[in-house]
Chain A
Amino acid sequence: MKKLLAWLLWLWISLVIVGAFLYAPLAKGFLGESSRILFFHVPMAWASFIGFIAAAVWSGRYLFGRRDPRHDRAAAVAIELGLVFGVFATVTGALWARIMWGAYWNWDPRQISILISLLFYGAYLALRAAVDDRETRGRLSAAYALLGLVVTPFLFWIMPRITYSLHPEPVINAQGKVEMEARMSQVLYASGIGFTALFFWIHNLQCRIQALFDRRAAL
């Protein structure tokens, strides 16, 4: 059953790749084929956001629950993966910026906000690495990750909307509407679902690897 789901995900993302290049039309006002990066850049940023929020939820469960190490592990892995997807979103965004704006980095509010998020969660990993005692590490890092419930929505959704930005209008614009050609939005949403599923699949594998490490370390 799990294998079938995995193969369905393979098919889903393969169709997204084909759809992104051969089905969706080019967006108006973009140079060449550059708008196609949207179908990968936005879902990667979305997966990063999901990771940071999921980490805050697991951290809350750890902190206010029975201090289950599985929740601590799940939060740490979600942040690691959120950082990986965040770096990919930043790199794809920079490649697009080079084509459209002539430079990889322009200190645009969107670029600054993702950079601050990456630094914020990079500090989480530094915090974890700095504390040896498992109980103290779990408690401190859970409290830190909980701050993400405020920091992450602000950096991902609010800050880029309250300042002037060269970045194209968000998928959901300031009026709360999606103004996008139908085939583009179909591929974009499909990609978002695919990347979210991929995120949780890798998250599950990484948590199991960490659990094995922890079990062996305890022996």
Chain B
Amino acid sequence: MVSGGIGWVVAVNLIIWTGLFLYLLRLGKRLRELEKDS
């Protein structure tokens, strides 16, 4: 059983990492579009 405190820390870390990851993924997609245009 995961203790409440550590469970929250894991959840917060995963949310931050997923947010950063999705931002980078979107940035890469936008860059590909800009590179095609220029």
Q: Residues of A at under 8 Å CB distance from B?
A: 2-3, 6, 9-10, 13-14, 17-18, 21-22, 33, 201-202, 205, 208-209, 212, 215-216
Contacts and interface: CB of A to CB of B under 8 A. Distances in A.
B10 A22 contact: yes
B24 A205 contact: yes
Contact of A208 (B9, B25, B35): B35
9 contacts: A6-B24, A13-B21, A17-B13, A17-B17, A22-B2, A202-B24, A205-B27, A209-B31, A212-B38
Given A6-B24, A10-B21, A18-B10, 7 more contacts: A9-B21, A201-B24, A205-B27, A212-B35, A212-B38, A215-B38, A216-B38
A17 B14 contact: yes
B34 to A, nearest CB: 6
A212 to B, nearest CB: 6
Nearest to B17: A13
Contact of A212 (B2, B24, B34): B34
Contacts of A10: 17-18, 21
Interface of B: 2, 6, 9-10, 13-14, 17-18, 21, 24-25, 27-28, 31, 34-35, 38
A13 B31 CA distance: 24
Contacts of A3: 25
A13 B35 CA distance: 29
A33 B31 contact: no
B5 to A, nearest CB: 8
